[in-house]
Structure 1
Amino acid sequence: MPVETQSLEQQRAYTQDEAFEASVKYFKGDDLAARVWINKYALKDSNGNLYELTPDDMHKRIAKEIARIEQTYPNPLSEEDIFSLIKDFKYIVPQGSPMAGIGNPYQTASLSNCFVIGNPGDSDSYGGIMKIDQEQVQLMKRRGGVGHDLSHIRPKGSPVKNSALTSTGIVPFMERYSNSTREVAQDGRRGALMLSVSINHPDSEDFIDAKLEQGKVTGANVSVRIDDAFMEAVKNDTEYTQKYPIFSENPKYSKTIKANDVWKKIVHNAWKSAEPGILFWDTIINESVPDCYADLGYKTVSTNPCGEIPLCPYDSCRLLAINLFSYVENPFTKHAKFNFNLFKKHVAVAQRIMDDIIDLELEKIDVVLEKIKNDPETDEVKATEYNLWLNIKKKAEEGRRTGIGITAEGDMLAALGIQYGSEAGNAFSLEVHKTLCIEAYRASVYTAKDRGAFAIFDSEREKNNPFIQRIKNEDEKLYFDMLEYGRRNIALLTIAPTGTTSLMTQTSSGIEPVFMPVYKRRRKVNPNDKNIRVDFVDEVGDSWEEYVVFHHRFKQWMEVNGIDSNKKFTQEELDDLIKQSPYYKATSNDVDWLSKVSMQGAIQKWVDHSISVTINLPSDVTEDLVGELYLKAWEVGCKGVTVYRDGSRSGVLIANDEKSETPAPDALTAFPTKRPEILEADVVRFQNNKEKWIAFIGLIDEKPYEIFTGLVDDEDGILIPRWVTRGLIIKSKNEEGNTRYDFQYKNKRGYKTTIEGLSHKFNPEYWNYAKLISSTLRHGMPIDKIVDLINSLQLDSASINTWKNGVVRALKHYVEDGTAAKGHVCDSCNSENLIYQEGCLTCTDCGSSKCG
């Protein structure tokens, strides 16, 4: 019986309430999953009209489009077969952009989740650098995450043939690309950027330190490309030579460093802030199948923002996850087993569907190109964007790269009664991923038999690749079939994070263990309402109800074992429940760290791209342990690794055991009691109600110490060039002996320009409030608390309230990423689990982001 679908003309629009009610029923009462689906993936036009009532409608839309592509090839899959595999998020789950974009006529966007860009010949001219900046923005507006490498930029102080005479180095361009990312937002989704640099680059130490400067490079993830020679120098405590161009036989510049000095800085920064991440570059390149074609344009240069897809310039990838939990028969019972036969069958179909999605992506790119052609700008203005998409189309068409991964690893093991992180758990996970690899490659070979190999396939080029050799040793027949028929796709596999996807599969995320099987959430309540329980009153007097949330599969374990999940449990009863369950000692904070690194290294040998995984550490671990884990990751063959130490960025979920919320004495910033005569200062520009505003923020140790802000005004002399983002605020006396604050900056010729009397340039009413706010800054009150304080001010006039909003926007830039935003509620899903991320309030439950 065919799947029922409707033409666009027949589609009716649904209200948000209709879709929410139907979707909550679909997700069996899970209102968070329902809101995430509606906000991110349900079909809607630019006016917000909804054309899908539940995910069933979305899955019919996707199945119809994939079946249309299937009809163009021999032995096509039917629409019904495809729908049966993707419905209910049970087996095969297209991720992110494919889920939202397939069959979507209302959005001119790519189906690719991630891209890497770069310049031929690694040009470090201003033209090349600005071209990358424009390409990055153009991709982000089409919903893509972007990565690019900065190793081609000449180091600081190098001679250049322009008026500057010497190069500024890497860091200013990190800030440029980061700021461009912050400017791009689509449908509540912020741009995502990865910046990388080789440890061989003489500016790599500046790159490593850049993100520790508060308010700098807040729009990018950063990772260091580390080669084996550097790691050997670290192990042996020897010197290492950095070069520009990197690894050059005849470098223009070189310097010798103590490898361990830089290594300790990397480790310290990662311990302190979870960045930079590490990319073991020689492992990536040596294991990379696409790099067998490096001379044909497939030289890997960087990764996507989460690090799971190393890519060459202008290549892209689409993601799909297989829900491992669904292959466990009789879960959480003594009869539980993993159905490998069904799994193998579905992997083959998933790889074929991924190849179909490439054809759908090529259609989308043609639509993008046509739109660019028809845009009213001149051809000169449109040239960069148009050529960008031509390059992306060429790579997608020629290499046909896919990104099959998994989700629910943690739940799969728990359902089988195997402890995540144990020796048995690691062994079983390895068997699953080896099976996934072999069956995906087999499917790509047999698809090539029907549809043809990717355009540049050459078995001779690949014959010595370690990954291909591993496949040959595991399944010789598959290898010889690949020699005969070729392979449809240049590379196939990845393990990506599955944040919102796992909310809809209602499972653990990606390869990770369950974060917490039981946790508490807080819901803001009106204490005067009937039948309301107040469990917590915060520092500003707001009332909150706390309620227990069970992880979906933990709840399933309870039901299998006859435990009533609706019961009101005491903390002791909850602790006892967890001890009885297969999730005991198997959560993110329980898993043995070295075991997890070893597991990642073993599985990496069967993943041709990379793995996105985080090693969670308690707050009291030493920097030496972080260094030990990084070293172990290199030794066992990981391609990359990220550590997260609890507290290095503030969390948002409440642990079940009660902890004091009072900040430690050292949490307050130790500012000098007397205002220094000269302060470094940031210039922050923004708009309020279409009016242009400016803020001058005095800094000590890169932390806000005072603020001056108001309307940009030509007549009052506040208008300064847009390229000015830094300067000095100088405290001085005027002719009458009164204190004044001047702003001074250098123009492009190096001459100083001074704007006198900041305190008199703005509305006097603003100045009085600014003194109050500056006073709280100087006493070291945390920025997020000051933001809340300013927001709570009840001010009389519209103009002063507009000013208040401007101050909040300026100060939010300095709230450390990951800081919990207490007292705020997500507009999309009503969750209270909001954090500050790059100056914006970001919901950790549904992913929506709000600035302003």
Structure 2
Amino acid sequence: MKTKLTESNQKVYTQEEAFEASLKYFNNDDLAARVWLNKYALKDSDGNIYEISPDDMHRRIAKEIASVEAKYANPMSEDDVYNLIKNFKYIVPQGSPMAGIGNPFQIASLSNCFVIGNNGESDSYGGIMKIDQEQVQLMKRRGGVGHDLSHIRPKGSAVKNSALTSTGIVPFMERYSNSTREVAQDGRRGALMLSVSINHPDSEDFIDAKLEQGKVTGANVSVRIDDAFMKAVKNGTDYTQKYPIFSEHPKVSKLVDANSIWKKIVHNAWKSAEPGILFWDTIINESVPDCYADLGYKTVSTNPCGEIPLCPYDSCRLLAINLFSYVENPFTSKATFNFELFREHVAAAQRIMDDIIDLELQKIDNIMKKIDADPELDEVKATERNLWLNIRKKAEEGRRTGVGITAEGDMLAALGIQYGSEAGNAFSLEVHKTIAIEAYRASVHLAKERGAFAIFDAEREKNNPFILRLKEADSKLYYEMLEYGRRNIALLTIAPTGTTSLMTQTTSGIEPVFMPVYKRRRKVNPNDKEVRVDFVDEVGDSWEEYVVFHHRFKQWMEVKGIDTDKNYSQDEINDLIKKSPYYGATSNDVDWLSKVSMQGAIQKWVDHSISVTINLPSDVSEDLVGELYLKAWEVGCKGVTVYRDGSRSGVLISNEEKKEEQNDTTLTAFPTKRPQVLEADVVRFQNNKEKWIAFIGLIDDQPYEVFTGLADDEDGILIPRWVTEGLIIKNKDEEGNTRYDFQYKNTRGYKTTIEGLSHKFNPEFWNYAKLISSTLRHGMPIDKIVDLINSLQLDSASINTWKNGVGRALKRYVADGTKAKGQQCDNCKSENLIYQEGCLTCKDCGSSKCG
């Protein structure tokens, strides 16, 4: 298939063309190329691709931003913008802005995150359902959502309906969580943050909700903790919970042991990495927008990752500055940080962010037109329409931005400074202080050129701690702000930069490097020329082991003249790391208390918040987690999350080992009669050089049936590679025989792609698939089914290949952290193996096998 033209003479590229071009763009970084192609390349709903590499994307974005610039004084040109964003080198619009700017094929928002709510006033069913609908409407437009549940009356409270008493918070947590899991967003699921105040009488139930298996799986949860509670914890005193929270005349009031609840929070975080903690008084007292709380800017919750506290119906767009790119002569004795260029680019980043708000307003207008044109009754559309009217008002009135960073870990390493050291913390603080001053200066200058945000009032902000720090650091900036105002109500954040950092090929956000060097394996054909077979697994597949270097670690090697093509042993890798600036500075090496102190210091110069995780080894005590949380509060963090190695692997019913073991074999209660329509995942994989495809029918996101076999043009199994989900429908053919059809959605609705799905594969495959589907329908745990498949003794070579394929497809549904019993690591012979993202991973040496 060759490049073709649409009716409008717009080039359309094949998957292969775009992948090869982007692979070349990213210097053979397969992961970066696939992430860009799958998530950010311009494509329509039929899978036509209109950009061949990220360079086309950057031109698209530059053109749109320049069109906004042209409306204002001293505009940047398209080339000016392009030179700032090209190659992911300096300024990187994140997520929704990258995917959505200049994209005519999606009617979606450019905001990464939203907070919704009833201003803490309504806990009626109508108000609760309204939030549910708003959440879904935002998620279908690609947004992550947060909202607070502190307005819901506690369990057992009187209500004037047939229930007589309230069910409390937890059932509504489940409702909102389930809604999140229902909404697909271009191949991913929506993201949700649920929060509650520790002052709420149901907060203890909230804290425990996620420990029950299968509950609230579609949301992150965080507890809003006030200073009074933290002081009660420190002093060992009681604490009063109320409903309404903090009311002078509460309907419900109870005295609780603060330390008892604190220990529960700490235990659950140690056990499962949740709940996160939001230090609410710090958030509110430091918040510049809360100076306008009576005008609708009272902060009520945060976005899903916690870095943007927001008022109801406000939203934020994110952008990252690549800190590594400002290090000149990296990894040499002459390495320096170019603060002059950095200051210039921070100002440009803030300007671009303000332009993106104008583009967002255009996007919201398009959403409104779509809603108005929809055929539903006005009363059906009313909630969605009012939602976007409220969001538009906040975006236009406050013009909130989210300038952040990535590559903090690589920046320090390139300068020869150890992450987490005193010198490292001091340098990072200087960088973030510079960002704050220059971004605010840029916002003041934009106010002079374009006008201040609509409700700016210097008198309201005069006692805000963040504004006072700016005044002390740069009095000229402060007095200019008094004269001209500021263009944006709040400006700064530090967000996680997962896919962004894959494309910048740097460490993520403010985090240190996770692992500078690791080993991976790839399956090889032993009959190919010049192939190296490092080991043969239990099913006879041959594997080559190879070393993967973190991109900037590899750059350090090249600077030092170290061979990057050699196949290093583990001992040699360890020696390399010891010689590098990354030694002692990985996520598992960094002193945890030092990292918390660093976060607290930097937080003073970030007007929103910071998304950061403290990584801990599996053997740390609960007391240490409590100590880190307490330290975070004392040093001024706005929030904190800890992750103990292995703790996120699964949620448990109880603390008793016996019950955990029993849980491993509990059967799921699937319906005895197969529903006519099932949602389905499409899974593609390769066995040796054969391309395979699997259709996995799902109930409650769990496999219920499987169809799998060779992907073959002649049999019509090949469907567009962008299709990752659809429907499997049970039908009857003309003779009354049962058949299963697969449909996927395109611009014209659902399209039947394969009739008689079962008959499209080798009948021998189908017979075994029926056996596997039967075990799935009876709820046997997936890891046990994979073991069963692996144990089948089959004579046919093709059936053995099928066996490997269906096992690989199903492994994707094994819960992360499930132990693989009776197997050894091929690398170090350890039996400490778990499933991690569908791959068998050794917890001792880190090696992974997918297949």
TM-score, length basis structure 2: 0.81
CA contact (8 A) 2:73 2:449 kept: yes
Aligned equivalents of 1:214, 1:402: Cα separation in 2: 38
CA contact (8 A) 2:677 2:730 kept: no
Which residue does the alignment assign to 1:498?
A: 497
Deviations 1:550-570 (A, max 9, x none): 000000000000011001211
The CA deviation at 1:535 is 3.7
Which residue does the alignment assign to 1:670?
A: 661
The CA deviation at 1:101 is 0.5
The CA deviation at 1:524 is 3.5
Aligned equivalents of 1:79, 1:697: Cα separation in 2: 45
Aligned equivalents of 2:779, 2:189: Cα separation in 1: 31
Aligned equivalents of 1:111, 1:252: Cα separation in 2: 42
Aligned equivalents of 1:465, 1:784: Cα separation in 2: 54
Aligned equivalents of 1:628, 1:290: Cα separation in 2: 31
Which residue does the alignment assign to 2:25?
A: 26
TM-score, length basis structure 1: 0.81
> Does 1:257 find its partner at 2:256?
yes
CA contact (8 A) 2:676 2:730 kept: no
> Does 1:150 find its partner at 2:149?
yes
Deviations 1:489-513 (A, max 9, x none): 0000000000000011010000000
The CA deviation at 1:54 is 1.0
Counterpart residue identity of residue 309, structure 2: P
CA contact (8 A) 2:61 2:101 kept: yes
More divergent stretch after superposition (375-384 vs 97-106): 375-384
Aligned equivalents of 1:684, 1:405: Cα separation in 2: 51
The 1:113–1:680 alpha-carbon spacing in structure 2 relative to 1, beyond 3 Å, is: closer
Aligned equivalents of 1:65, 1:608: Cα separation in 2: 28
Counterpart residue identity of residue 636, structure 1: V
Aligned equivalents of 2:108, 2:204: Cα separation in 1: 37
Which residue does the alignment assign to 2:592?
A: 593
Aligned equivalents of 2:790, 2:382: Cα separation in 1: 44
The 1:473–1:682 alpha-carbon spacing in structure 2 relative to 1, beyond 3 Å, is: farther
Which residue does the alignment assign to 2:797?
A: none
Aligned equivalents of 2:566, 2:535: Cα separation in 1: 21
Which residue does the alignment assign to 2:373?
A: 374
CA contact (8 A) 1:524 1:545 kept: yes
The 1:711–1:227 alpha-carbon spacing in structure 2 relative to 1, beyond 3 Å, is: same
> Does 1:44 find its partner at 2:35?
no
CA contact (8 A) 1:422 1:595 kept: yes
| Aligned-partner SS, 1:161 | coil
CA contact (8 A) 1:492 1:608 kept: yes
Aligned equivalents of 2:664, 2:283: Cα separation in 1: 51
The CA deviation at 1:546 is 2.5
Which residue does the alignment assign to 2:10?
A: 11
Structure 1 residue runs of 5 or longer lacking an equivalent are 1-5, 652-664, 699-709, 714-764, 796-803, 824-832, 842-852
CA contact (8 A) 1:271 1:645 kept: yes
The 1:818–1:477 alpha-carbon spacing in structure 2 relative to 1, beyond 3 Å, is: farther
The 1:687–1:542 alpha-carbon spacing in structure 2 relative to 1, beyond 3 Å, is: farther
Deviations 1:297-347 (A, max 9, x none): 100000000000000000000000000000000000000000000000000
The CA deviation at 1:378 is 1.2
Counterpart residue identity of residue 73, structure 1: Y
Which residue does the alignment assign to 1:548?
A: 547
The CA deviation at 1:106 is 0.8
The 1:770–1:517 alpha-carbon spacing in structure 2 relative to 1, beyond 3 Å, is: closer
More divergent stretch after superposition (683-692 vs 33-42): 683-692
Counterpart residue identity of residue 335, structure 2: A
Which residue does the alignment assign to 2:80?
A: 81
Deviations 1:417-443 (A, max 9, x none): 000000000000000000000000000
> Does 1:248 find its partner at 2:210?
no
The 1:549–1:649 alpha-carbon spacing in structure 2 relative to 1, beyond 3 Å, is: same
Counterpart residue identity of residue 331, structure 1: P
The 1:111–1:834 alpha-carbon spacing in structure 2 relative to 1, beyond 3 Å, is: farther
Aligned equivalents of 1:514, 1:691: Cα separation in 2: 38
Aligned equivalents of 1:442, 1:40: Cα separation in 2: 34
More divergent stretch after superposition (44-53 vs 583-592): 44-53
Which residue does the alignment assign to 1:296?
A: 295
The 1:497–1:457 alpha-carbon spacing in structure 2 relative to 1, beyond 3 Å, is: same
The CA deviation at 1:649 is 2.9
Which residue does the alignment assign to 2:632?
A: 633
Which residue does the alignment assign to 2:425?
A: 426
> Does 1:460 find its partner at 2:459?
yes
Deviations 1:424-480 (A, max 9, x none): 000000000000000000000000000000000000110000010110011111011
Counterpart residue identity of residue 637, structure 2: C
Which residue does the alignment assign to 1:187?
A: 186
The CA deviation at 1:88 is 0.4
Matches within 5 A, 1:118-137: 118-137=117-136
Which residue does the alignment assign to 2:479?
A: 480
The CA deviation at 1:598 is 0.1
Aligned equivalents of 1:766, 1:334: Cα separation in 2: 62
The 1:572–1:222 alpha-carbon spacing in structure 2 relative to 1, beyond 3 Å, is: same
Aligned equivalents of 1:193, 1:452: Cα separation in 2: 34
CA contact (8 A) 2:669 2:778 kept: no
Matches within 5 A, 1:570-719: 570-650=569-649, 669-671=660-662, 690=678
The CA deviation at 1:236 is 0.7
Aligned equivalents of 1:315, 1:212: Cα separation in 2: 31
Aligned equivalents of 1:33, 1:446: Cα separation in 2: 37
Aligned equivalents of 1:89, 1:769: Cα separation in 2: 46
CA contact (8 A) 1:324 1:406 kept: yes
| Aligned-partner SS, 1:670 | helix
CA contact (8 A) 1:684 1:694 kept: no
The CA deviation at 1:29 is 1.4
| Aligned-partner SS, 1:211 | helix
The alignment of Structure 1 onto Structure 2 pairs a total of residues equal to 735
The CA deviation at 1:255 is 1.0
The CA deviation at 1:791 is 9.3
Which residue does the alignment assign to 1:449?
A: 448
Counterpart residue identity of residue 99, structure 1: M
Deviations 1:527-568 (A, max 9, x none): 555544444555666554332100000000000000110012
| Aligned-partner SS, 1:564 | coil
The 1:835–1:319 alpha-carbon spacing in structure 2 relative to 1, beyond 3 Å, is: farther
Counterpart residue identity of residue 670, structure 1: E
The CA deviation at 1:691 is 9.1
Aligned equivalents of 2:402, 2:480: Cα separation in 1: 22
Structure 2 residue runs of 5 or longer lacking an equivalent are 651-655, 681-696, 703-727, 732-767, 795-802, 824-832, 841-851
| Aligned-partner SS, 1:36 | helix
Counterpart residue identity of residue 202, structure 1: P
Which residue does the alignment assign to 2:312?
A: 313
Matches within 5 A, 1:277-288: 277-288=276-287
The CA deviation at 1:179 is 0.5
The 1:687–1:771 alpha-carbon spacing in structure 2 relative to 1, beyond 3 Å, is: closer
The 1:520–1:477 alpha-carbon spacing in structure 2 relative to 1, beyond 3 Å, is: same
CA contact (8 A) 1:683 1:696 kept: no
CA contact (8 A) 2:678 2:699 kept: no
> Does 1:207 find its partner at 2:206?
yes
CA contact (8 A) 2:679 2:698 kept: no
The 1:576–1:205 alpha-carbon spacing in structure 2 relative to 1, beyond 3 Å, is: same
Which residue does the alignment assign to 2:163?
A: 164
| Aligned-partner SS, 1:295 | helix
Aligned equivalents of 1:89, 1:471: Cα separation in 2: 30
| Aligned-partner SS, 1:464 | coil
Counterpart residue identity of residue 400, structure 1: R
Aligned equivalents of 2:113, 2:43: Cα separation in 1: 23
Aligned equivalents of 1:361, 1:775: Cα separation in 2: 48
Aligned equivalents of 2:672, 2:390: Cα separation in 1: 36
Counterpart residue identity of residue 503, structure 1: L
> Does 1:107 find its partner at 2:106?
yes
Identity, % of aligned positions:
80
Aligned equivalents of 1:333, 1:821: Cα separation in 2: 45
The CA deviation at 1:7 is 12
Aligned equivalents of 1:815, 1:280: Cα separation in 2: 35
| Aligned-partner SS, 2:596 | helix
More divergent stretch after superposition (597-606 vs 74-83): 74-83
Counterpart residue identity of residue 379, structure 1: D
| Aligned-partner SS, 2:662 | coil
The 1:639–1:59 alpha-carbon spacing in structure 2 relative to 1, beyond 3 Å, is: same
